[in-house]
Structure 1
Amino acid sequence: MRWNRTVTVIGAHAEGEVGRVVTGGVLNIPGNSTLEKLEYLQANDDLRKFVNQEPRGCAQMTTNLLLPASDASADAAFIPMQADGSHAMSGSNAMCVTTVLLETGIIPMKEPETEVVLDTAAGLVTAKASCRDGRVERVTLDFFPAYVELLDAKLEVAGIGTISVDVAFGGVFYVMPNVEQLGFQIGPDVAQDMVRLGNDIKKAAQEQFNVQHPEIEQFNSIEFLMFTGKEKPAAKVFRNATIMPPGRVDRSPCGTGSAARMAAMYAKGEISIGEALDMRSTINSSFLTSVVGETTVGGRKAILPQISGRAWIYGTMQLGSDPTDPYQLGYTLADTWGTGIDHEIPGLN
């Protein structure tokens, strides 16, 4: 065996959503802040392709790049690299990163609770890990502020007509239609239908709505769509289905999406500070969430979300490439990756 590149990865998932963590093979990324490092990765995409595209990866996962913290008050930084590109923040992946940091001893574990401050491109996130017998049992994330951009906005979607959506920021911008108006319930049996419909609605929202974070110039686009449902509203049980590019459903209840949804629910008076909510995913996994306070972002009213979930390590692997391998950065095919991306296959492009 001879490799011209080696990356060590810890496999983990948070409530079903795969979030692998790079722990070796990448020393650092150029940039004075995690946001600048994110911009570098977005402009220099080889690492993401190498770890995420076939044969070393797949569309149904994220690979988190673990980095030294740029902010002196943080313990570590991470950047989620996903099928469509590198992003600012992910709640489920923050749970995976925290679990990997503590259970592998990169950061010393203290029982019964270890606090880890994560430096992300969207801001600092405090992770409180409940620990027992050498493992992380639950990770509770204190998020940066989430806020509403649009409430009950009218959106024209070809083939559907006019629907009502909320647009909010929870780490990235989400457009959120409720499924009751669309005539279906979130579940694994309608996953493909949700992907097709969700992509159409997101495309319409991107064309019709302009968004701009008041403090971070680079955050100016709707990145994800999340369908919202009411499972047992009297018991504060709700259901989320985030549609992830290039065309799949988030297996977890979605951390940043839950933050965005709570911002919209709070603005509508549907929830109050300190009220416990149970956000469920398409596969019925759960995040426990609440609004722990109010704040402002650039003069806008905002909430402070708290999101709690579980993550598990399932493997350790080394990813490499032989210098004779024609697929140095991998490849994608439309049968799995959909038709919405450029398919780069050596010899065909």
Structure 2
Amino acid sequence: MIRALARSNHDHIRRALICEPRGHREMYGAVLRPHTELTETGKAEMGVLFLTNDGYSTMCGHATLALGRFLVDSVCDDWSDPMWAGSTFSTEHGHQSNQITFYRERGEALLRLHAPCGVVRVTVPFVAYEDGSARADTKRPVSYLSVPSYATGVSVVIEVATSGSWPELGQRREVVVDIAYGGAFYIVVSASQLGFPPAQLNSLTKPTLAALNEATKTLKRIFNSNAELRAQYLQHAEHADLQFLYGVIVTAPSAIDSGEAASENSICFFANEQVDRSPTGSGVQARVALAYAKGELKLGESRTYHSPV
């Protein structure tokens, strides 16, 4: 609801913040919304609106991790503060009474973030100091449990016309991709399917980045121009507003020894060909669901995702 309202009535604010001269092509934003339909009914502690160079994304794991620490720090002033009985957010609109739950014994705070895709449950470690203050513990990782993620298409063949190709594809006229949802919909495609040697993703150069940008932009355009593909693979059971292709993730085996049995490298082009510095939180969610659907990952197993950026 808030995302649609911002897009229709307040987009000048996003453009002023994200676009030049104040912002830049890769700028990303998160606007806190204390009052949403879910915070008002006690189903979330805070709402958030994510901003991109093209509009409003529906989920961002990277921003969720940062917001978790920010929100915990914003209320961690003193153990004697009423927040420990029921933490509060102070805003220009008054007092927000929804509670962050602090578990003092294990040093973790739990909060529910109302993102456009739904409620994301965030766990933020914190440290209590002798003077009575507390802050998020930057030595321990923030984690979150997101909305249900799932694969909608495995080994989907996308036809590429001669006039709509890119140089690295050569004479091939088909690209095999996967499609999955992790709070947003993604095409997941190997570098080799796009015509790039996988090693180029592990030692990324500016020319390779520019060529990948052109290939993913073309692939996204081809997919979006095909109503049948969109109808078949961008299905969301609850919200039609989420049924759009957000990004293209290019993958390759990782050259980094992470100590994990399964390790992948990837680069994500989202919104208007914006490049993500991280492996993309919602993209990782989609890829985990995809790996499970393909039988490559079992419940309880872990996988590490890297980014060359």
Using structure 1 for the length normalisation, give the TM-score. 0.67
The reply on whether 1:145 has 2:158 as its aligned counterpart is: no
Aligned match for 1:198, one of 197, 200, 216: 216
Judge conservation of contact 1:253–1:281 (CA < 8 Å) in 2.
yes
Distance of 2:137 and 2:57 partners within structure 1? 25
Runs of 5+ in structure 1 lacking a partner?
1-35, 284-349
1:260-300 per-position Cα deviation (integer Å, ceiling 9, x unaligned): 111111111000001111111123xxxxxxxxxxxxxxxxx
Quote how far apart the aligned CAs of 1:180 are: 2.9
Deviates more, 1:216-225 or 1:267-276: 216-225
Quote how far apart the aligned CAs of 1:207 are: 2.0
The reply on whether 1:180 has 2:163 as its aligned counterpart is: no
Structure with higher RCO (Cα < 8 A, 6+ apart): 1
Indicate the residue corresponding to 2:181 in structure 1: 169
Structure with bigger helix share is: 2
Identity rate, percent: 23
Distance of 2:145 and 2:65 partners within structure 1? 11
Indicate the residue corresponding to 2:297 in structure 1: 271
The reply on whether 1:128 has 2:140 as its aligned counterpart is: no
Please report the RMSD computed on the Cα atoms of aligned residues, expressed in angstroms: 2.0
Distance of 2:197 and 2:73 partners within structure 1? 40
Give SS of 1:86's match: coil
The verdict on how the C-alpha distance between 1:43 and 1:264 changes in structure 2, with shifts beyond 3 A counting, is: same
Distance of 1:207 and 1:124 partners within structure 2? 31
Using structure 2 for the length normalisation, give the TM-score. 0.75
> Which one has a bigger Cα radius of gyration?
2
The reply on whether 1:103 has 2:73 as its aligned counterpart is: yes
1:202-222 per-position Cα deviation (integer Å, ceiling 9, x unaligned): 111222321221221222221
Give the counterpart letter for 2:117 in structure 1: A
Quote how far apart the aligned CAs of 1:244 are: 2.6
Give SS of 1:218's match: helix
1:14-44 per-position Cα deviation (integer Å, ceiling 9, x unaligned): xxxxxxxxxxxxxxxxxxxxxx110011112
Distance of 2:126 and 2:307 partners within structure 1? 24
Give SS of 2:49's match: strand
Quote how far apart the aligned CAs of 1:46 are: 1.3
Indicate the residue corresponding to 2:29 in structure 1: 63
1:70-91 per-position Cα deviation (integer Å, ceiling 9, x unaligned): 3122110101011000121111
Judge conservation of contact 2:31–2:50 (CA < 8 Å) in 1.
yes
Distance of 1:129 and 1:252 partners within structure 2? 19
Quote how far apart the aligned CAs of 1:108 are: 8.6
Judge conservation of contact 2:101–2:111 (CA < 8 Å) in 1.
no
Give the counterpart letter for 2:249 in structure 1: M
Deviates more, 1:243-252 or 1:146-155: 243-252
Quote how far apart the aligned CAs of 1:109 are: 6.8
Structure with bigger strand share is: 1
Aligned match for 1:240, one of 262, 266, 287: 266
Runs of 5+ in structure 2 lacking a partner?
76-88, 90-99, 129-134
Indicate the residue corresponding to 1:230 in structure 2: 253
Give the aligned length: 248
Indicate the residue corresponding to 1:114 in structure 2: 109
**Within 5 A, what are the aligned runs for 1:1-349?**
36-44=1-9, 45-68=11-34, 69-71=36-38, 72-105=42-75, 106=89, 112-132=107-127, 134-137=135-138, 138-157=141-160, 158-159=164-165, 160=169, 161-181=173-193, 182-185=195-198, 186-187=201-202, 188-189=204-205, 190-208=208-226, 209-210=229-230, 211-231=234-254, 235-283=261-309
Judge conservation of contact 2:113–2:121 (CA < 8 Å) in 1.
yes
Distance of 2:274 and 2:143 partners within structure 1? 26
Judge conservation of contact 1:70–1:77 (CA < 8 Å) in 2.
no
Distance of 2:289 and 2:136 partners within structure 1? 32
Judge conservation of contact 2:3–2:116 (CA < 8 Å) in 1.
yes
Judge conservation of contact 1:102–1:136 (CA < 8 Å) in 2.
no
Judge conservation of contact 1:156–1:162 (CA < 8 Å) in 2.
yes
Judge conservation of contact 1:225–1:243 (CA < 8 Å) in 2.
yes
Distance of 1:249 and 1:192 partners within structure 2? 11
Distance of 1:202 and 1:153 partners within structure 2? 14
